Structure 1
Amino acid sequence: MIWQNFIDQTLKPIQVSDTISDIKLAFKASKFNHLPVFKKGVFKGSVNVNDLLELQQTSTLSEFKYLVEVFYAESHKTTLDLIHEFANHQTNLLPILDTDKNYVGVVKLEDVLDLFGETPFVANEGEVMILRKERTKFAFSEVAQLIETLNARFSGMYISKLSEEFVEVTVKVEHQGINEILQTFRRYEYQIASEHPEDLFAEDLKEHSDYLNKYLDI
């Protein structure tokens, strides 16, 4: 299912001419932290409920135009684009515009997250690994090749952290023995940033550490 099927056109937007009191009532009737704002049928942006707390109840929103934030997603964008907008603006309601910047409706964060949860990366069984390597030595093709040589199945991979020195990728695979994959990546100079009960390397380090501590206590 595509996220466009979740566009809600029934939400009643607020107007810049509405009083702060009326807008607060609209927020109280909803579960959203932002609501879209219109002026004479034209989308102007969204307002955050927290920005209204100290305002005079009888004032109108038009007196506080600086509180209207302009953010939205266009109807041709991907699910990941939407998640980025939700996170970037700390909102749980995202206005949707068409390519001509006409208002289409809104999408709820919970609907997009539910849809993302149905993707193979999230829904499929498998092991999630976080791999770290020097940026100049990292290549997606190498990660894919190493996994495929071990007859493991990819569910997905994305860059979860990026700096000038290192690249950190989160990888999900379907495989019977994750330890074999972990050791293979270590041989190719990858660090394993995630924890795995089946990781014999980590267990060996713990045993050596315990032995050293006992030796130093003698």
Structure 2
Amino acid sequence: MRLSELIINDIKPLNTNSKIRDLQLLFNQLTFSHIPVKDDNGTYLGCFSETDAHCFDNDKPLNEYKYALEDFFVRNNTLWLDVLEAFAINSTNIMPVLSEQNKYLGYYELNDVISLFSESPFFSEAGGILVVEKGINDYSFSEISQIVESNDGKLLGAFISRMNTDLVQVTLKIRNTGLNEIIQTFRRYSYNIVSGHEEDGYIESLKDRSDYLKKYLNM
């Protein structure tokens, strides 16, 4: 499904001449965090948040509170990862969509976009999850791919899940019958294994050898 097919247009933006009570009524009826607003010419101006709306005088028009408008939106050709980022940055569950000519086309709902994300192979395909960590100046995605593929694994997706001034963590989804060989190769390349959602045979092997050594020394 194309992202643009998720555009909804059942709730029209309020006009700046509308009363605050109209805005408050919409919030009472809907589960949206924001409501879009347009001017007399139909130009999108921004969104009022539910938190602000309930603090306003309900007898006054919206145009008296234009200073509180939050100016966020995406284009109808914006990539879905950028759309998700816009949702997160603006702490909203509704995202106005504009054309290249700044015409208001409708809006995305957060749950719909997340559902589209969940249909990607990263989530839908069977495989193991592996989180690796290395110095921020030492890791490389080409090296990570080479390690996975040299052990007959197939990368279904990878993203940086944590980063600071020293270290970076990369989360991998790998289609493979087992992760043990891949994990051991990452260790040889000085990657720290943060987590692997399959049995880590390397650790189990060390544990077995340690137990054997203890028994041998106690003989």
Partner of 1:94: 95
Q: Alpha carbons of 1:57 and 1:175: their partners in 2 closer, same or farther (altered >3 Å)? A: same
Residue matched to 1:81: 82
Q: Residue 58 of structure 1: CA displacement?
A: 1.0
Does residue 189 of the first structure (1) align with residue 178 of the second (2)? no
Q: Is the 8 A contact 2:129 2:197 kept in 1?
A: no
Runs of 4+ more than 3 Å apart: 200-210
Q: CA deviation at 1:9?
A: 2.1
Map of 2:131 onto structure 1 = 130
Following superposition, the deviation at residue 205 of structure 1 comes to: 7.4
What corresponds to 1:178 in structure 2?
A: 179
The one-character-per-residue Cα deviations of 1:79-110 (angstroms, maximum 9, x if unpaired) are: 10100000110111000111122211111111
Q: Among all aligned residue pairs of Structure 1 and Structure 2, give the percentage whose two residues are the same amino acid.
A: 35
Looking at structure 2, the residues matched to 208 and 32 of structure 1 have their Cα atoms a distance apart, in angstroms, of 58
Alignment-derived partner of residue 27 in structure 2 = 27
In structure 2, the residue matched to 1:149 is 150
The CA deviation at 1:162 is: 2.3
TM-score, normalised to structure 2's length?
0.89
Q: Deviations over 1:118-142 (max 9, x none)?
A: 1111111111111111122111111
What is the alpha-carbon distance in structure 1 between the residues aligned to residue 210 and residue 26 of structure 2? 60
Give ranges in structure 2 of 5+ residues lacking alignment. 212-219
CA gap 1:131/1:21 in 2 versus in 1, 3 angstroms? same
Letter in 1 for 2:108: V
**Matched AA of 2:178:** G
Greater shift after overlay, 198-207 or 18-27? 198-207
DSSP 3-state at the match of 1:64? helix
Name the counterpart of 1:9.
9
- Alpha-carbon distance between aligned partners in 2 of 1:22 and 1:205, rounded to the nearest angstrom: 67
Residue 163 in structure 1 maps to residue 168 in structure 2: no
Q: How far did residue 10 of structure 1 move?
A: 2.3
User: Post-superposition shift, 1:172?
Assistant: 0.3
State the match for 1:70 in structure 2: 71
Q: Identify the residue that residue 214 of structure 1 maps to in structure 2.
A: none
Show structure 1 runs of 5+ residues with no match: 211-218
Structure 2 SS opposite 1:136? coil
Q: Deviations 1:170-216 (Å, cap 9, x if unpaired)?
A: 11001111122111111111011225450134456778999xxxxxx
SS in 2 for 1:154: strand
Q: 1:52 to 1:133 in 2, by over 3 A?
A: same
Aligned partner of 1:108 in structure 2 is 109
The structural deviation recorded for 1:112 is: 0.6
